[in-house]
Amino acid sequence: MDWEGIVEREAARYADGEARLDPEQLVRLGNAAYGAGLALLMLGRRDEASAWLTKSAERWRESWEYATPTSWGRPTGVIKAHLLAGSAEAAQDAAAWTLTLGCIDSESPIGRYAATLALLTLGRFEDARHQADPLRERDDFPRDVADALATIAGDELVDYVEAVESVVASFERRDEYLEDVPVADTALVLQALAVRRGIDVPLPPSVVLPG
């Protein structure tokens, strides 16, 4: 992949959206910044990646003011971006904010996903397991992601490894990615949460993961 070209493309998209000064551009700005951050992670340029990922989190969080009350993808993205940026304090702040939005026990799988990510980020593992387990029974949410979340909450190393490897494989099979940036960001987020839980095992080598 031409990761340098992707960084340049996403930076240009960000600059274009920023020039319009329109609240409706905030999600687009967040997406572009996230894409640039992921590409920079693939290049091993972590400091630059962190800066772009932090920008994406900020834009998505700003966009919540203009969203419907169940636009759970936005707080989910905020948490994920801060975790990938390596910003522990910012991730915890985002998690605490997310839980004030009413996602606990949400009927929406994405709402429950947001709640689970938030609770894991805050170290509330029993509560996170309560949110994650019902996701494992749904047809409208990836089973391997739900399994990974639940096994992180339960500190189940072997089952976690199987689940996260399945997540990586699912990204390898995809034809579409956010911003057309082929990176298994969900697996990277799960890994960040697993490490925080004390589950420290490497992800498998993959073309959709940093080398």
- CA torsion angle 172 177 178 183 (round to 10): 30
pLDDT of residue 22: 87
CB 119 within 8 A of CB 93: no
pLDDT in tens, 42-84: 999 999 999 999 999 999 999 999 999 999 999 999 999 999 9
Dist. CA 54–CA 52, nearest whole Å? 5
pLDDT of residue 21: 75
Neighbouring CB atoms inside 10 A of 132's CB total 27
Angle at 195 between CA 109 and CA 57, to 5 degrees: 55
Question: pTM (2 decimals)?
Answer: 0.96
Q: Determine the structural domain holding residue 175 and report its residue range.
A: 3-197
**CATH number of the domain encompassing residue 66:** 1.25.40
In a domain, 204, yes or no: no
pLDDT of residue 135: 97
In a domain, 208, yes or no: no
Q: Kindly give the parts of the chain with pLDDT less than 50.
A: none
Dist. CA 158–CA 169, nearest whole Å? 17
In a domain, 84, yes or no: yes
In a domain, 94, yes or no: yes
